Amino acid sequence: MDENEGMHHCAARIQAVRDEIAAQIKSYRDLVGAASKASGMSLTRIDAALAAFEPAFFNNLLIALDARFPSPSPGADAARSELHLLAAALTRNGGVLKADPAIPYDADASVLKLDFGERIALNADDFEALCAAFLVEIEQNLPA
């Protein structure tokens, strides 16, 4: 595979990830819409069920996204570092954001503005914003 083929493959892989994530977010939003129209269950119970489901779904989707790409190297872009630190928090730190000396992180410059010590509980908008920034950084770092 020559360099152009490799770049095209990487770009196609990123687009496939973007499409898959968009489909999962759409499925979640469709579920929310259907649940809000459901009859036979109080809106309070529906809202409570969705409130419990949303962070579990998007936290797991973040872990799945992180697993598709190698760990960031020192000096990696901000969203890539942020996503990796959040995935580590979810898989190794009981859901609490912790510093990693190998990965720079500035809460003020981050997408979600989370501080160390905060518990990770993503909603659809949080995940969508971080995923978009992350994939743009991956695309920008493809070989020219």
Indicate the pTM of the whole model. Answer: 0.83
Neighbours of 113 (CB within 10 A): 11
pLDDT of amino acid 39:
56
Burial grade of 82 (CB within 10 A; 0-12, 13-18, 19 or more): buried
The pLDDT tens digits of the residues spanning 72-126 come to 766 678 999 999 999 999 999 999 999 999 888 999 999 999 999 999 999 999 9
Residue 1 has pLDDT above 60, yes or no: no
Collapsing DSSP states into helix, strand and coil, what is residue 12? helix
Sign of CA dihedral 55, 60, 61, 66: positive
Q: Which residues of 47-69 are buried (b: 16+ CB within 10 A; e: fewer)?
A: eeeeeeebbebbbebbeebbeeb
* Residues of the domain holding 63: 3-140
- pLDDT tens digit sequence for 5-62: 666 778 888 999 999 999 999 999 888 888 877 756 666 777 788 888 999 999 999 9
Compute the mean pLDDT over every residue in the chain, rounded to the nearest whole number.
87
- Number of structural domains found in the chain: 1
